[in-house]
Amino acid sequence: MTVSTTAKKARWWDGDPTQRYWMELVSRPNWGTELISPDEGRYSHMWDVREGDVVFHWLGVSYAGAGKSGIYGHSVVVGRPQAAPENQWRSTTGPGVRVPLGDFVPADPLLLRELEDSAGEIGAVKDQLINDYGAPIYFPFQDGSGGFRPREAYLAKVPRALVDIIAGLRPESDWGGSAQPLVSPQQAGGQNGVKETYAGFCADPVLKKAIEMQAVHQAKAHYSAAGYSVEDVGAHKSYDLRVIRGDEVRHVEVKGSQGHVQKVILTRNEVTHANDYDRTDLVVVADIEWERRLDGSIATGNGVMSVYPDWRPSPENLKPLSFEYFLD
C-alpha cells in the first residue's frame, strides 16, 4: 500500500478502497447533512473524504446528555469536498471545507459505556496502525488517564477493523467494503427546489420535508394575518396555497431553504401557471433554522420570508436545467 503524507501526517488508508469510514464529533445542532471545518492543517484530511464513504455521528454530553454520549446514526458522502471561502465555523468566519452528506439513518445509540467493553481490541487496532505507519493516525478513540473516550477532534478516520470488531457499528445498508458501493450515491441540487449560494447539497429527505413544511407554515401565517382564508393545495395543484379575501383569490408558490437564496428551481408547470394566472405570489423563506433531534427527526424555527406579489417569471431570469428529447 502506498501511503502519502500531508503536513507529515500518515494517510494509512491511501490505496485501500475498503477504508471508507469516518466519525464526526458533532459540534452543531444541524448535523447529518454535511461535514464542515476550517481549511487548515489539522483538518487537512477533510479533503480525503470520498463519495460513498460512511460517516458515523458521535454526540457528546452537550447534545446527548450525561451518560448518553455515543454514535446516533450515520450518513453517506454524496459529493466531493468543496472549498468554502466564507465558511462559518463556530464563532469564526474564514476559508473552509464542506462535504455534502445524504441518506442519514438514525440508529439506536451505540453508547460510550458499551464501546468500553471492546476497549482492549480497539486499542490493539490503534497500536498496530501506529506501529505500521507512525503517529498521528486520526484514530477515533483514546484511552489514557481520562479513561476510554472519543478523541477530541472534529473528524476521525475509522479503520474497517473497528467496524468488524464493534457490535452494532456496521450499517445495515453497508456495501461490505467492496471497491464500489452497491448503489451509487445521488447528488441533490438544493433544498425544496432551492439552490443555496454556498456549495451545499441536501440528500436528506427528512430534512428536505421539514424545511418545506416550515416554509409553507410561515406562508400560511403571513396570509392569515392579512385576513385571507388559506387552503393548502400543494398535494394536487401546481402551486402550494390558495388564499381568499372577499372576491380576491390568490395562488401562492412557496420555496424554502436552510441557507441564503439567490435562485430557485421551478418546474415547467409552476412557470406556466404563474404566467397564466394573474394573481400568483411567490413566497421564499430563507435561512430556516433547524436542528436534528436524537431520534433523527428535525425541529425547525422561523426563516426570513420574502413575498413577491403578482409574480411573473421573467424569461431573462429563467435558465433551462434539462430538456426532454424525442427520439426519431
pLDDT value at position 172? 65
pTM recorded for the entire structure: 0.68
How many C-beta neighbours within 10 Å does residue 164 have? 13
Lowest mean per-residue pLDDT among 117-121, 187-191, 272-276, 316-320: 187-191
Contacts for 86 with CB less than 8 Å, ≥ 6 apart: 93, 94, 198
Q: If you ran DSSP here, which 8-state letter would residue 203 be given?
A: B
pLDDT value at position 298? 87
| Same domain? 160 vs 234 | no
Q: Find the helix or strand (DSSP H, E) in which 127 lies.
A: helix 119-133
Measured distance CA(186)–CA(139) in Å, rounded: 29
Measured distance CA(219)–CA(222) in Å, rounded: 5
Q: What is the CATH number of the domain that holds 210?
A: 3.40.1350
Count of all residues that appear for the chain in the document: 328
Query: Could you tell me if residue 220 is inside a domain?
Result: yes
Q: Write down the residue that cell numbers 464542515 correspond to.
A: 36
| Same domain? 160 vs 11 | yes
Q: Give the SS3 label for residue 182.
A: coil
Q: What is the mean pLDDT of residues 150-175?
A: 84
Secondary structure (H, E, C), 210-240: HHHHHHHHHHHHHHHHCCCEEEECCCCCCCC
Query: Could you tell me if residue 296 is inside a domain?
Result: yes
pLDDT value at position 30? 82
Q: What is the mean pLDDT of residues 15-29?
A: 89
| Same domain? 28 vs 143 | yes
pLDDT value at position 173? 57
pLDDT value at position 68? 87
| Same domain? 22 vs 67 | yes
| Same domain? 43 vs 156 | yes
Query: Could you tell me if residue 64 is inside a domain?
Result: yes
255 vs 65 pLDDT, higher one: 255
Range of the structural domain that residue 36 is part of: 5-165
Query: Could you tell me if residue 189 is inside a domain?
Result: no
Q: How many domains does the chain have?
A: 2
pLDDT digits (tens, 9 = 90+) for 188-202: 333 333 333 322 345
pLDDT digits (tens, 9 = 90+) for 25-83: 997 888 888 999 998 888 999 999 999 899 999 998 888 776 789 999 999 999 999 99
pLDDT value at position 21? 95
Asked if residue 110 lies in contact with residue 70, where contact means CB atoms within 8 angstroms, the answer is: yes
The DSSP annotation for 37-100 comes to EESSGGGGGGGG--TT-EEEEEE-HHHH-TT--EEEEEEEE-S--EEEEEEEETTEEEEEEEEE
pLDDT value at position 150? 93
CA triplet 82, 214, 220: central angle to 5 degrees?
140
% of the chain surpassing 70 pLDDT: 86
